[in-house]
Amino acid sequence: MPRPPDSTLSYGGQEVKGTLGSYCWFSRMRSVCADSPGPMIASKEKTLTVPSGSEVVFRYGGQSPPNTVEAGVYPLNKKGQLRIPPSHKKGQPGHVISSHPLEVHGSGVERTIPAKLPPGEYVLDVSVEVVVDVGFEETVSMDQNQASYYFRVMVE
């Protein structure tokens, strides 16, 4: 079955592999979509530590560069769980945790993401879209492969 390529995040000689989240991926004869339950939190061993204000490098593992790359972060609490905003009360319906958007710079398979964040631990969500030709012999069709990658980041 088709699957998105592995992708990485690096800073200062450290590199961590992303945890694959939700995706829809197409090839000439097959396609598959898979949903993740939400932001995936990688183990502490896969944490990338960076200084506040530094730039991390996202490397997409595919052969063709993504058409779009977007990034956002989810803060983690001291227990390494997603931090729930104080405006949300436990048990209240409509409980949604949203990410804080980050800038993404560059083109090609490498993109830089400034870590303009206060010190703390975060899940970085990087979403990519890649336009692919899934045409058959007599027809041509363009589709977008879409995937989310999650990285655990400690900002000091």
The domain that holds 148 is classified in CATH as: 2.70.50
- Whether 21 is in a domain gets the answer yes
Residue whose C-alpha is closest to residue 62's, from 103, 108, 104: 108
Q: Is residue 38 part of a domain?
A: yes
Indicate the SS3 state at residue 93.
coil
Q: Is residue 2 part of a domain?
A: no
Domain count, the chain: 1
Q: Residue 51: give the domain boundaries.
A: 8-88+95-155
Query: Per the domain annotation, does 30 fall within a domain?
Result: yes
> Using an 8 Å Cβ cutoff, are 103 and 156 in contact?
no
Q: CB–CB of 32/2 below 8 Å?
A: yes
Pairing outcome for strands 19-26 and 110-114: unpaired
Is 3 inside a domain boundary?
no
pLDDT, tens digit, 9 for 90 and up, residues 11-60:
999 999 999 999 999 877 788 999 988 788 878 889 999 999 999 999 99
Are 12 and 69 in contact by the 8 Å Cβ rule? The answer is no
Contact 120, 152 (CB under 8 A): no
Q: Is 119 a domain residue?
A: yes
The model's pLDDT over 67-116, given as tens digits with 9 standing for 90+, comes to 999 999 999 988 888 877 665 555 555 555 678 999 999 999 999 999 99
With CA atoms as reference, report the closest residue to 103 among 120, 116, 86.
Answer: 116
Residue 135 lies inside a defined structural domain of this protein: yes
Contact criterion met (CB below 8 Å) for 8 and 17: yes
50 located within any domain: yes
Would you give the DSSP letter of residue 7? -
pTM, whole model, 2 decimals? 0.87
Tokens 């961590």 belong to: 16
CB of 131 closer than 8 Å to CB of 144: yes
